Chains A and B, each alone.
Chain A
Amino acid sequence: MSFLEVKDLKIHFPTDDGLVKSVDGLTFDLERGKTLGIVGESGSGKSVTSLGILGLHKGGRARISGEIWLDGEELNGASAEHVRGLRGKKMAMIFQDPLSSMHPYYTVGHQIIEAYRIHNDVSKQVARKHAIDMLGRVGIPEPARRVDSYPHEFSGGMRQRAMIAMALSCDPELLIADEPTTALDVTVQAQILDLMVDLQREFNSALIIITHDLGVVAELSDDILVMYGGKCIEYGPADSIFYRPEHPYTWGLLGSMPRLDREPTERLLPIKGSPPSLINVPPGCAFHPRCPYAERTQGKAETEVPALTETEGGHLVRCHMSRDERRGLWENEIKPVLETQ
């Protein structure tokens, strides 16, 4: 059994407008020391997934089903109390907006010290020394002085680093980073990504990085999971996903982004339309209203949800087209256009 195994996870929210199927049958696993990248556009269910794994929907109105196995222990069936006890030490999270997870009235140091002492029976002095250490490790200058600063006295990049220091202070075995660098400038983003990689190596933790940026995912991930409308539409080793993608949505994402590592193209190749609302997910294949190949599947695209099937070693695709058809399209039509334009 893998360190983390998520099986058929569903997180639905009943609302006045109808049932929001934010996460609709997600299955993946992750080993210690490895990184999973989850990519998708806004509203595809990425954040709901990460909060779900940490048990943060428990007690709310969410309807959760499926299994979440962390280090041999099932968490979806476990009590909210028990899962709370695992947060911090066993698993921790870094959010997009550091202010939302840091208390404005307490100093940064105070918050790290408290977090550390929940899981470690040590004196305040020892915890403070640990907090200063952690701040130094994440690259905060003069940590012994800055430990007494308030969150608002830090710049955006420093706050993000302080939050990482807090998340890592108890050296969690699973770290989930939800858009950790989206609000940051590229040079600061580079610092933070380097930092996460270094710390992950050192602690051998399992890392889930959630983002809409394919560049960030490529930089860090061993495996990649692409989400669309609450479902996984393609999943596999990073190399397979980037060099032999088989889902039309993944092709669309690749065609949409201008790339600095290639000669500039004349034209971007966007996906038509916009991402679906999760209250009204299109029937059948959720991507069919935007898919240029929808008519190839003889009406099935509009009526039947395609199954997630394996195409090669651990690479799964959710599409009605046959494997040969998808590979033919990629090799003969998509890849040449993306690479030579």
Chain B
Amino acid sequence: MTEPNYASEPLLSVQDMEKHFPVTKGLLKRQVGAVKAVDGISFDVFKGETLGLVGESGCGKSTTGRLVTRLLEPTAGKVVFEGQDITHMSQGRLRPLRRDMQMIFQDPYSSLNPRHTVGAIVGAPFRIQGVQTENGIKKAVQDILSLVGLNPEHYNRYPHEFSGGQRQRIGIARTLALKPKLIIADEPVSALDVSIQAQVVNLLEDLQNELDLTYVVIAHDLSVVRHISDRVAVMYLGKIVEIADRKRLYSSPMHPYTNALLSAVPVPDPKARKGRERIRLAGDVPSPLNPPPACRFHTRCWKAQEICKTVEPPLGEVASGHRVACHFPENAVETPAATAAAEQS
């Protein structure tokens, strides 16, 4: 197994990143507001690790993925890849870096061009990047097809001739063509059937070990994220509210929202439903157009106090590698320093 290397510099470092989408009105496209899709998040990703990014629909996971891969321009903040600030790098200078950073998408149907053969799809990155291959592109593509568990003889087939799981393998094969260092996978298994999900999860793990890959896996399924990740970040309304190694996050979650999320997951054990106290959250996630002030979770939090509505809790470190943004965290041994500081000010 590849072990993450936490001692070295991070492979990817995201600092105070924001993405506000303007909301415009009328013919003159006057800006009347902004969707704060990502609103000041920071995290590092270390070589060889898998960072899971979870949260409910609309919390900014995909936007984060697209900012990191520079498919979107951030409104503020920095993206540093292998020590280089790539935030405002021109497309020309980015090009070689695109080989190192690839994205896998949720929908294995719409992300593959139906008029291109598998060979053309998986071989495209070689052609676009003008990469020389030892025995020709076809051989290189066929090698990748076998690597992801597809029959290399299916080189000339079209996407519609494959099942959903196989199409996701084609999508993965395409990202592997240029031997990337970092793969951002946005909901890589959520469109697949349970039995196929497991195949693809195992494939991602095998590839990580074989090719020394680093992953950011975006998903809303907390069980899949626990299985695949070394560390996990939980997002709520454009912010990271908690980040920790997976063991701590799942065994002693500290943010009330993380606790609510975990308690909401139905478990496949009929006896479990009887003994379990579920945290019932009221209502829906508020709109990112107008997020609640200070702690964004206060409108749904059962522990909310006056301070939660006026002072934003910082994402403070409460134990080694465990950060949480809450004034009154759960499972806390003592009041975190962050709270004390906030209360004094």
Contact = CB atoms under 8 A, between A and B. Distances in A.
Interface of A: 41-42, 141, 155-158, 185-191, 193-194, 212-219, 221, 238-239, 242, 252-261, 264-265, 267-272, 274-275
Given A41-B193, A158-B284, A275-B193, A189 B269 contact: no
Where chain B touches its partner, the secondary structure class is: helix
Interface in B188-205: 193-199, 201-202, 205
Nearest to A216: B266
A258 B265 contact: no
Contact of A268 (B201, B263, B278, B284): B201
Given A259-B267, A269-B198, A274-B195, 9 more contacts: A185-B220, A187-B261, A191-B280, A193-B266, A212-B193, A238-B270, A257-B223, A260-B265, A270-B197
B115 interface: no
A221 B271 CA distance: 11
A265 to B, nearest CB: 7
Contacts of B246: 264
B281 A187 contact: yes
A193 B164 CA distance: 29
Among A187, A189, A254, A275, max chain B CB count under 10 A is at: A187
Interface string B258-281: 001111111111111100001011
B299 to A, nearest CB: 12
B281 A257 contact: no
Given A194-B278, A215-B265, A258-B227, A186 B194 contact: no
B86 interface: no
A242 B270 CA distance: 7
5 contacts: A157-B284, A187-B56, A219-B266, A253-B195, A267-B202
Given A157-B284, A188-B284, A264 B226 contact: yes
Contacts of A267: 202, 205
The 5 lowest CB-CB distance pairs between A and B, nearest first, are A270-B198, A215-B266, A258-B227, A256-B198, A190-B264
B267 A257 contact: no
A221 B270 CA distance: 8
Contacts of B220: 185-186
Contacts of B265: 186, 215, 260
A5 B227 CA distance: 41
A267 B268 CA distance: 18
Contacts of B252: none
B269 A242 contact: yes
Nearest to B149: A272
Nearest to A37: B270
Given A191-B281, A253-B195, A186 B264 contact: yes
Interface string B223-260: 11011000000000000000000100010000000001
Contacts of A258: 201, 223-224, 226-227
Given A190-B278, A264-B226, A267-B202, A218 B195 contact: no
A156 B284 CA distance: 9
B280 A256 contact: no
B198 A255 contact: yes
Contacts of B272: 218, 261
Given A265-B227, A268-B202, A213 B270 contact: no
B283 interface: yes
A144 to B, nearest CB: 17
A194 B202 contact: no
B264 A270 contact: no
B163 interface: yes
A242 B268 contact: yes
A261 B268 CA distance: 8
B57 interface: yes
B166 interface: yes
Contacts of B201: 258, 268
A194 B280 contact: yes
Interface string B200-230: 0110010000000000000010111011000
Given A187-B260, A218-B272, A270-B202, A256 B197 contact: yes
Given A157-B284, A270-B202, A257 B193 contact: no
Among A156, A186, A213, max chain B CB count under 10 A is at: A186
Contacts of A214: 194, 268
B268 to A, nearest CB: 4
Contacts of B261: 186-187
B268 A259 contact: yes
A271 B202 CA distance: 12
Contacts of A186: 56, 220, 222, 261, 264-265
B165 interface: yes
Nearest to B225: A258
B342 to A, nearest CB: 26
B333 to A, nearest CB: 24
Nearest to A222: B270
Contacts of B202: 267-268, 270
Contacts of B280: 190-191, 194
A162 B266 CA distance: 23
Contact of B267 (A156, A185, A215, A272): A215
Contacts of B195: 41, 252-253, 256, 270-271, 274-275
Nearest to B196: A274
Contacts of A187: 56, 260-261, 264, 281
